[in-house]
Each structure stands twice: as structure tokens, then as C-alpha cells.
């Protein structure tokens, strides 16, 4: 089988980490994440607690990767977006970016 590149992405609140990984055909999303060693960089997170996606669509960890895939790891939400907006509204705040003034 031929080799090809895929990206593995993990975003924290203040920074996004992107790695390009060379893979063999037939590898799964989970196998590529393990080979990327990204989880070793973030020991506070386990692969089992993260949702996985490819180009913004949630996928199972056993999905076979394809050339050009962008594998994304999604952290659990700290606060439901609706609840965050509700709490901001109670204090008179908005969801606008702080630099947009």
C-alpha cells in the first residue's frame, strides 16, 4: 500500500496543535492518533474521553483514514453554549470577542 499524509488536530482554549502524520493505507483514526503521539503531549486527556472527527464530522475510532483527512480530537465542553449565553445575559454580557470593540 502507498503512504500518504493526514493531519491530526487538537485544540485547547488558547492554542491549536496540528501534526502531519505519514500513514500506510488501511490504518484507523485511533491508530493514527496513537502513532502521532499527540496524547503523550496531553496526559490530562485520554483518547477514550474525546470525541473524534474528520473535517468537522464525528467519526468512530475504527474509521479507515484516507489521504488528505484532517483528524480532529474534540474535548468535552466545559459549559453548554446555551448555558454560557444565559449566564452572560444575566450579567449584561455578550458573546462578542473582547477585541471587537
Model-level pTM greater than 0.75?
no
| Count of domains observed in the chain | 1
CA distances from 31 to 22, 47, 87 (A): 12, 11, 40
pLDDT value of position 80: 61
Confidence of residue 46 (pLDDT cuts 50, 70, 90): confident
Confidence of residue 101 (pLDDT cuts 50, 70, 90): very low
Examine the pLDDT at 64 and tell me if it is beyond 80. Answer: yes
pLDDT value of position 44: 80
Examine the pLDDT at 82 and tell me if it is beyond 50. Answer: yes
- The residue range of the domain holding 70 is 3-100
CATH number, position 32: 3.10.20.30
Cα 81 to Cα 49: distance, rounded to the nearest angstrom: 19
Examine the pLDDT at 71 and tell me if it is beyond 80. Answer: yes
Strands (E) located in 1-101: 3-11, 16-24, 51-54, 57-59, 70-74
pLDDT value of position 62: 94
Amino acid at each position: 500500500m502507498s503512504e500518504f499524509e493526514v493531519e491530526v488536530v487538537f485544540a485547547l482554549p488558547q492554542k491549536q496543535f496540528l501534526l502531519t502524520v505519514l500513514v500506510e493505507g488501511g490504518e484507523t483514526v485511533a491508530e493514527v492518533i496513537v502513532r502521532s503521539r499527540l496524547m503523550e503531549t496531553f496526559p490530562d486527556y485520554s483518547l477514550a474521553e474525546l470525541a473524534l472527527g474528520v473535517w468537522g464530522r464525528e467519526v468512530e475510532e475504527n474509521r479507515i483514514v484516507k489521504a488528505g483527512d484532517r483528524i480532529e480530537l474534540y474535548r468535552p465542553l466545559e459549559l453548554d453554549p446555551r448555558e454560557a449565553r444565559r449566564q452572560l445575559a444575566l450579567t449584561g454580557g455578550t458573546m462578542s470577542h473582547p477585541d471587537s470593540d
